[in-house]
C-alpha cells in the first residue's frame, strides 16, 4: 500500500474509533500526524458521534442502531472516502485559522 493510502486508511480508522466511542477523543494523539490533523480527526469524530437512547446511529446515512464495533465497521466500510474528505476540510479550516492568528 502506498504511503498516502496508508495514512488515509489510518486517519479513517482513527475518526471511526472516536465516533464509535472505542477511543476517547481526549486520549487520542499521534506522534506522526501534524497537530492540526490530530485536532481535525478529534473534531470530525465527535461530530459523527450520534447516540440516541443509548444506541449509535449514523448521522451520514441514518442507518442504525449499531454497537460500537458495528458503527466502527459501518463508517470504515461505507463512508471511508467521506471520512477522509471531512478530515481534509476540517484540517484546512484549522490550519487557516492558525495562520490568521499568527499573522
28-86 tens-digit pLDDT: 777 778 888 889 999 999 999 988 888 899 999 999 899 999 999 999 999 999 999 99
Q: Where are the domains of the chain?
A: 3-102
Global pTM?
A: 0.86
**How far, in Å, CA of 29 to CA of 54, rounded?**
27
With both helix axes pointing from N to C terminus, report the angle between 35-47 and 80-102 in degrees, rounded to the nearest 10: 130
CB of 44 within 8 A of CB of 90?
yes
Per-residue CA distances from 103 to 38, 86, 94, 95, 96 (Å):
22, 26, 14, 12, 11
Task: Identify any residues that bridge with 55 across adjacent strands, giving them in sequence order.
Answer: 52
| Strand ranges inside the chain, DSSP E | 51-52, 55-56
Amino acid at each position: 500500500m502506498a504511503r498516502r493510502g496508508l495514512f488515509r486508511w489510518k486517519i479513517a480508522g482513527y475518526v471511526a474509533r472516536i465516533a464509535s466511542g472505542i477511543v476517547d477523543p481526549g486520549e487520542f494523539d499521534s506522534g506522526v500526524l501534524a497537530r492540526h490533523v490530530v485536532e481535525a480527526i478529534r473534531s470530525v469524530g465527535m461530530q459523527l458521534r450520534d447516540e440516541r437512547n443509548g444506541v449509535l446511529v449514523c448521522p451520514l446515512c441514518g442507518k442504525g442502531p449499531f454497537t460500537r464495533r458495528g458503527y466502527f465497521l459501518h463508517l470504515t466500510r461505507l463512508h471511508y472516502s467521506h471520512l477522509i474528505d471531512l478530515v481534509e476540510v476540517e484540517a484546512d479550516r484549522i490550519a487557516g485559522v492558525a495562520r490568521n492568528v499568527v499573522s
